[in-house]
A = this chain, B = another copy of it.
Amino acid sequence: MNNPAVAILIGSDSDLEVVCDALVTLEEFSVSYDVCVLSAHRSPQHTVAYVKTMEKKGVQVFIAAAGGAAHLPGIVAAHTVRPVIGLPILTKALGGVDSLYSIVQMPSGVPVATVGINAAKNAGLLAIQILALSDRNFEAKMRLYKRKLTKGVQEKNAVLQKSGWRKYSNT
Q: Which residue of B lies closest to A152 (CB)?
A: B42
Distance from A114 Cβ to chain B, minimum over Cβ atoms (Å): 4
Number of A residues, CB within 8 Å of B: 93
- A122-B111, A123-B111 are contacts. A94–B92 as well, Cβ < 8 Å? no
Q: Is the CB of A156 within 8 A of B13?
A: yes
Q: Is the CB of A35 within 8 A of B69?
A: no
Is A31 interfacial (CB-CB < 8 Å)?
Answer: no
Distance from A120 Cβ to chain B, minimum over Cβ atoms (Å): 9
Q: Is the CB of A105 within 8 A of B111?
A: no
Q: Is the CB of A36 within 8 A of B122?
A: no
Q: Is the CB of B149 within 8 A of A44?
A: no
Distance from A58 Cβ to chain B, minimum over Cβ atoms (Å): 10
Query: What 5 A-B pairs have minimum CB-CB distances, sorted nearest first?
Result: A113-B113, A111-B122, A134-B134, A68-B105, A98-B101
Q: Could you list 7 further interchain pairs (A-B, Cβ under 8 angstroms) beyond the known A61-B133, A71-B102, A108-B119? A: A16-B165, A36-B157, A37-B157, A71-B74, A81-B143, A101-B101, A110-B149
